[in-house]
Amino acid sequence: MNRRDFLRISALGAAVLTVPAREDATAAHPDLVAVLGPDPVRAIGAQYRRLVPAENDRLRLRAAILAPRMSIAAMVRRDFETGRTVLVNGWVLAATEARQCALFSLLA
């Protein structure tokens, strides 16, 4: 293997390994953290996971958040527009926000 092929394969491998981590960081960082702080967001996430046991899994939550291939902000707007909301710990959240909180509670 020559140097050029080695560098190309190494760069591709690094990109493949970092994309899921970057996606997890985006998917698992709800805007609510800046407003409420991490502990209340973890509590919201834990409660959502109890309310929706089918989504009490990091991979399922990540897939649900990232599958639509649109920005998280756009998904949150769409959730509110279509009535896809959930009441968790006294907060009315878009389904996407609740899933982000749940993923945050699992990863943090």
Domains of the chain: total: 1
Residue bearing the bigger pLDDT, 83 or 28 = 83
Mean pLDDT of 10-36: 62
Give the structural domain span for 99: 3-107
SS (H, E, C) the chain: CCHHHHHHHHHHHHHHHHHHHHHHHHHCCCCHHHHHCHHHHHHHHHHHHHHCHHHCCHHHHHHHHHCCCCCHHHHHHHHHHCCCEEEECCEEEEHHHHHHHHHHHHHC
Question: Per residue in 44-71, pLDDT tens?
Answer: 999 999 999 999 999 999 999 999 889 9
**Total-model pTM:** 0.77
